[in-house]
Amino acid sequence: MKPDLSTRYLGFRLRNPFVVSASPLGRDLDRLLLLEAAGAAAVVLPSLFEEQIEHDSMLVHTTMEHGTESFPEALSYLPEMSSYNTGPERYLSLITRARESLRVPVIASLNGASPGGWTSYARRMQDAGASALELNVYFVAADMDETSEQVERRYLDIVAEVRRTITIPLAVKIGPFFSSTANMARRIVDAGADGLVVFNRFYQPDIDLENLVVVPDLKLSTAVELRLPLRWIAILHSRVKASLAATTGVHDHFGAIKLLLVGADVTMTASALLIHGPGWIESAIAGLGEWMVEHEYTSVEQLKGSMSWRGAPNPAAFERANYMETLASYEVPR
C-alpha cells in the first residue's frame, strides 16, 4: 500500500512535506507552476524586504530631486513617471496571480527588522490573497548598547504587531543565534506565531581580495547544514504549540526524512531546486515514499517526531553531550 505522504502545516492539509522555500525560484509564475506540477505541496514566495522598499523609494526620491530647482534652464532632469513601483505593488500582484493559478497554498514572505509602518504590508499581502504569511525577522545585533533582552523584545513586538494585523496563519522564520533558542521559540509562539521556520540563512559578508571591499554573498546550502535545524526541531517538537518547518540543507529525501523524524511538519528547499530544477521534488517525493515502504511506515504523520527529543532513544545527543562526543571522536594531531 502506498504510504500517506500528507502532512499538516499552519492548518493546511498538504499533499506531501516538500515546500519550496523563499528564494528567487518564486519570482515568476511560470516557474511556480512548474514547481507545483513537480509536486511541491506549498510555495513560499521570495521575501519582500523592508529595507528594499525603503531603499528603492528613497533612491527614486533622491535621484528625482537631485539637481532640481537649482538652475533656471533645467528645473528637473528626469521625467516624472506615472508609477515607480518602489512599493510592494509588484509583489502583491505576484501573490494574487500565484493564488489564481496555483492550487497549493501560496505563502507570502515579509522580511524586516523593526516594528513600524512596514508591517502594514502584512495586511496588504493578506488582502492580495496570501494563504499564509512567513515573517522573516533578520537582524544582526551589532549595537553595543542593545541588550539581548531588548533584541528579544524587538522580535516579540514585531510578531505581535503582525499578528494583530492579519488573520491568516503566521509562520515566523528565525535564526539560531539566541541565548535561549528554546525559550525564544516559545515566546514567539506565545506572541502569535502559528508556526516556526528554522532556520534563516543569512547573507554573510565576504571579502573581495583584489579590490579589498566587503561584498555580501550568499552561498547555496550544503547537506551538512541540515544538522542545525535537525537538532532544534528535535528539541522544539511537541514542546511549542506551533507547526515546525525545517529549512536549510535539505538536499535529498534522506535529509527530509531525518527532519520529519525529529518533528518537522514540512521541509523547505531552495538550494537543491536551484541546482537540480523542479524535477528534484518529484524524485524526493518518490524517495520518501520508497523509504517509508521499505521501513514500513504508513504515513508521514506516523513518522513525524518519532525521533524528536521526546522520542529518540538517546535524547541527550541533541544537547551538550553531542558536542563533547563529537570532539572526542577526533584524534588530536601529534
Partner 1 sequence: MQRPVVTVDGNEAAAYIAHRLSEVVAIYPITPASAMGELADAWTAAGKPNLWGDIPTVIEMQSEAGAAGTLHGALQSGALTTTFTASQGLLLMLPNMFKIAGELSPTVIHVAARTIATHALSIFGDHSDVMTARTTGFALLASASVQEAQDLAAVAHAATLETRIPFLHFFDGFRTSHEVGKIERLTDDDLRALIDAGAIAAHRSRALDPEQPVLRGSAQNPDVYFQAREACNRFYDAVPGIVTTVLQRLEALVGRRYGLFDYRGHPEAERVIVVMGSAVGAVEETVDALVARGEKVGVVIVRLYRPFAADAFLATLPTSARVVAVLDRTKEPGASGEPLLQDVATVLAGAAADGRAMPRIIGGRYGLSSKEFTPAMVKAVFDEAALPQPRPRFTVGILDDVTGLSLDVDPSFRAEPPGVVGALFYGLGSDGTVGANKNTVKIIGEHTPQFAQGYFVYDSKKSGSITVSHLRFSPVPIRSTYLVDSASFIGCHQFGLLATIDLLSRAADGATLLINTPYGAATWDRMPVEAQRQIIEKKMRVFGIDADAVAKEAGLGGRVNTVLQTGFFVLSNLLPPDEAVMAIKDSIRKTYGRRGEAVLDRNFRAVDGARAALFEIVVPEAATGLVHMRPPVIGAAPEFVRTVTGEIIAGRGDLLPVSAMPIDGTFPTGTSQWEKRSIADEIPVWDADICIDCGRCALVCPHAAIRIAYVDESALAGAPAGYPHRATVGKDFPGKRLVIQVAPDDCTGCSVCADICPARSKELVKHKALDMTPKDTVLERERERFDYFLTLPPIDRREVAIATLKGSQALQPLFEFSGACSGCGETPYLKLITQLFGDRLVVANATGCSSIYGGNLPTTPWSVDAQGRGPAWSNSLFEDNAEFGLGLRLGADARHTAAVRVLRGLRGILGDELVEGLIAADQTTEAGIFDQRTRVAAARERLEALGTAEAVEALPLLDGLIRKSVWIVGGDGWAYDIGFGGLDHVISAGRDVNILVLDTEVYSNTGGQASKATPRGAVAKFASAGKSSGKKDLGMIAMAYGNVYVAQIAMGANMTQTVKALAEAESYPGPSLVIAYSPCIAHGFDLAKMMGHQKDAAASGYWPLYRFDPRLAASEDKPFALDSRPPTMPFKEFAAAEARFSMLAGADPERSEELLKAGQEDIDERRRYYEQLAGLERGLPGDEVTV
Whichever of 37 and 58 has its CB closer to partner 1, that residue is 58
Give the nearest distance from C-beta 216 to partner 1 in angstroms: 16
Whichever of 208 and 325 has its CB closer to partner 1, that residue is 208
Kindly provide the residue ranges of all beta strands, DSSP E only, lying in the chain, ordered along the sequence: 7-9, 12-14, 18-20, 42-49, 106-112, 132-137, 170-174, 195-198, 204-208, 213-217, 243-247, 266-269
Whichever of 76 and 326 has its CB closer to partner 1, that residue is 76
Output the CA–CA distances (angstroms, integers) from residue 191 to 26, 154, 204, 213, in the order listed: 28, 12, 29, 40
Give the nearest distance from C-beta 33 to partner 1 in angstroms: 19
Whichever of 70 and 180 has its CB closer to partner 1, that residue is 70
> Which residues bind to partner 1, rule: CB under 8 A?
53-54, 56-87, 90, 117, 212
Q: Is 130 left (phi over 0), alpha (psi -120 to 50) or beta?
A: beta
Give the nearest distance from C-beta 115 to partner 1 in angstroms: 14
The label of the residue with cell 496563519 reads: 169
Give the nearest distance from C-beta 270 to partner 1 in angstroms: 23
Whichever of 120 and 299 has its CB closer to partner 1, that residue is 120
Q: Are 43 and 30 in contact (CB under 8 A)?
A: no
Q: Are 214 and 207 in contact (CB under 8 A)?
A: yes
Give the nearest distance from C-beta 304 to partner 1 in angstroms: 41
71 cis-preceded (ω within 30 degrees of 0): no
